[in-house]
Amino acid sequence: MSRRDVVVARSDRSTPVPRPRRTGRVPVALLLPATLGLLFLVLPLAGLLIRTPWSTLPQRLTEPGVLIALRLSVQAATLATLLCLVLGVPLAWLLARVDFPGRRLVRALVTVPLVLPPVVGGVALLLVFGRRGILGGWLDSTFGVTLPFTTAGVVLAEAFVAMPFLVIAVEGALRGADVRYEEAAATLGAGRWTTFTHVTLPLVAPGVAAGAVLCWARALGEFGATITFAGNFPGRTQTMPLAVYLALETDLEAAIVLSLVLLTVSVVILASLRDRWLSSP
Amino acid sequence: MTARRLALFTAMTIVALVGCGSGQRTDPRSGGSAGAVTGDVTVFAAASLTESFTRIGEAFEAANPGVRVAFSFAGSSALATQINQGAPADVFASASPANMTTVTEAGSGDGNPSVFVRNQLVIAVPDGNPDGVTGLADLNRPDVKVALCAEQVPCGAAAVRALATAGVGLTPVTLEQDVKAALSKLRLGEVDAALVYRTDARAADDDVDGIEFPESAGAINDYPIVVLRNAPNRPAAQAFVDHVLSGPGQAVLTAAGFQAP
């Protein structure tokens, strides 16, 4: 084996570069803003906990509306995440692996729901999928299906707002993945579909999982697009954020309790997912 | 600009402002609200007052050149919460006595609130009334989709009372967070009818017909207004409340479809 071969072989190996040990004092210029940032994020949560009516908590938690809204929230967010996975992973692959004209524009368009106020997103959905909408009118007259004010409408609204999180995360993972595995598969005769399912997807699975978790969390907290597109009716379209908003109208404590439930559920689920799938180094 | 010229400019501005003010100055105790007050007034008002209070604000500013009125329109209950949490408002105009009570009981009000108008519900339907709705009973038809306000906000509470009076057990497709949201679902064509205030139906006259129904008489909302205890600009706040209660103020409100108290 020549000297050159050795060098190539070594650089081909995809073992992570060993990290140098971090030593020395943490600079105050970084530590101070970091601490302030953490406080800024955590203090409002502490505020919720301080104002929580602990003595009446059990009664409030067992009120029938709470569980119904919670179940609907979790179901709708999960369905929205599945929808985002089915549509968003191929979209991310397209953006990362296919060179087509206008790709930058498409990438910018994908992120539009991130900056669009969700209420506007809800109105936009109504203009397309509403009873008088471009597609919604056709759905109604052909199949008798109307999406607004249904649980399917909630899923649609949440997917619209949450999908960019998934697409961005997966596209990032795809760009970071080593293309040479895919090229190797191609030289061995695998088509693009087989390469995608057998090589690419397993390679970026952690990225897909991370994107799905982000997407789910965003869907769970969705308020504006949901109340605008799907309305608010207990058991059908009233998710936890909507219930919190309406409770706030009359009963601050009830709103705090509902927020606490939502917070606990999301933290527990996100933490458990993170431990299982997203082992951070 | 040199310091000297700046001083001169400032002095001239002050002279000009004082000159303007003194020209229209009247005795504040004489009941007129003209010219006696200056500064910013922040008015927290129910969403249903959006159109009429905006007009009243313009008239008030025209009568008091030194005053600027800023409005925050939202659901009365949300406003009441904000006021009790220390929002820097001068005046609170609520769409229901219940939300006013929330504010006065928390000690945020200054003096007794006065009822300045009353409002009642109508059935809002698309222009031309395509479904031929004539009363609350028609809203129960399976082909008619209805939007109501959520019971937590005043228009929803009034709707519940009216429906109970009529003995109509109605299942709406949605319970909206305020009256404007219920109306917008109708204007977007997603529902066939909505119970909204007469004033909101009138404000949306181009797209919407308002159908009066007898049971609304049992569900009339009183609108109270009050100067707030921590008002940053109390004289101007009182002048604004006086203006709302005055003849010209009431004329704007009744033109919008409100009833005199």
Residue A180 CB partners (closer than 8 Å, separation 6+): none
Give CA separation, A134 vs A116, A119, A128, B127, in Å.
20, 19, 5, 21
Tens of pLDDT, residue by residue over B87-143, are 889 999 998 898 899 899 888 888 889 999 999 999 999 999 999 999 999 999 988
CA B231/CA B40 separation, integer angstroms: 11
This model of the complex carries an ipTM of: 0.75
CA quadruple A191, A192, A194, A196: dihedral, nearest 10: 160
Residue B6 has pLDDT above 60, yes or no: no
Interchain CB distance below 8 Å, B190 and A149: yes
Q: Identify which of B75, B77, B173 has the shortest CB distance to residue A233.
A: B173
Smallest CA–CA distance, residue B216 to chain A, in Å, is 23
DSSP state of B220: P
Rounded to the nearest integer, the mean pLDDT of chain A is 86
- pLDDT at residue B166 tops 70: yes
Residues B195 and B159: their CA atoms lie apart, in Å, by 7
Across the range A210-239, mean pLDDT stands at 93
The answer to whether B190 contacts A132, with C-beta atoms less than 8 Å apart, is yes
Q: What does the CA dihedral A116, A117, A122, A127 come to, rounded to 10 degrees?
A: -50
The SS3 assignment for B249 reads helix
CA distance B168 to chain A (A): 18
Inter-chain Cβ pairs, chain A and chain B, closer than 8 A: 60
User: In B142-253, at which residue ranges do the beta strands (DSSP E only) sit?
Assistant: 146-149, 174-176, 193-197, 208-211, 221-228
Burial B42-61 (b: 16+ CB within 10 A, else e): bbbbbbbbbbbbeebbebbe
pTM tops 0.90: no
**Interface contact B78-A246, CB threshold 8 A:** no
Residue given tokens 């999982």 in the structure block: A209
Q: State yes or no: pLDDT of A171 exceeds 90.
A: yes
Helix (H, G, I), strand (E, B) or coil at B32: coil
d(CA B244, CA B226): 11
Least confident range of A220-229, B98-107, B234-243:
B98-107
d(CA B57, CA B90): 14
Q: Positive or negative, the Cα torsion across B228, B230, B235, B237?
A: negative
For the segment A215-237, the average pLDDT, to the nearest whole number, is: 93
Which of B78, B81, B173 is closest, CB to CB, to A149? B173
Q: Do the Cβ atoms of B176 and A232 come within 8 Å?
A: yes
Q: Which residues of B touch A252 (CB under 8 A)?
A: 81
* Nearest CB partner across the interface for B190, out of A130, A234, A247: A130
Joined tokens for residue A214: 């982000």
Which is more confident, A275 or B208? B208
Alpha-helical regions (H) of B24-96: 50-63, 76-84
Residue pair B88/B230 in contact by the 8 Å Cβ criterion = yes
Q: Report which of A92, A75, A58 is spatially closest to residue A174, judged by C-alpha positions.
A: A92
**Which of A130, A148, A232 shows the shortest C-beta gap to B175?**
A232
Q: Is the predicted pLDDT of residue A279 greater than 60, yes or no? A: no
Q: How far apart are the C-alpha atoms of B31 and B18, rounded to whole Å? A: 22
Residue/partner pairs of B134-137 with CB below 8 Å, 24 or more apart: B134/B211, B135/B166, B135/B211, B135/B213, B135/B214, B136/B162, B136/B163, B136/B166, B136/B168, B136/B170, B136/B213, B136/B215, B137/B166, B137/B168
* Gap between the Cα atoms of B98 and B39, Å rounded: 31
Range ranked top by mean pLDDT from A152-161, B65-74, B104-113, B143-152: A152-161
Q: Calculate the alpha carbon distances from A103 to A90, A97, A224 in Å.
A: 14, 11, 29
Within a 10 A sphere around the Cβ of A274, how many other Cβ atoms? 14
Higher pLDDT, A213 or A64: A213
Q: Which residue of A has its CA nearest to B101?
A: A250
Chain-chain contact of B153 with A231 (C-beta, under 8 angstroms): no
Of B88, B34, B110, B95, residue with least CA distance to B66: B34
pLDDT at position A61, please? 83
**What pLDDT is attached to residue A21?**
63
Give per-residue pLDDT as tens, A120-157.
999 999 999 998 888 998 998 888 888 999 999 999 99
C-alpha span between B84 and B13 (Å, rounded):
39
B189·A130 Cβ contact <8 A: yes
Q: Is the confidence at residue A269, as pLDDT, over 60?
A: yes
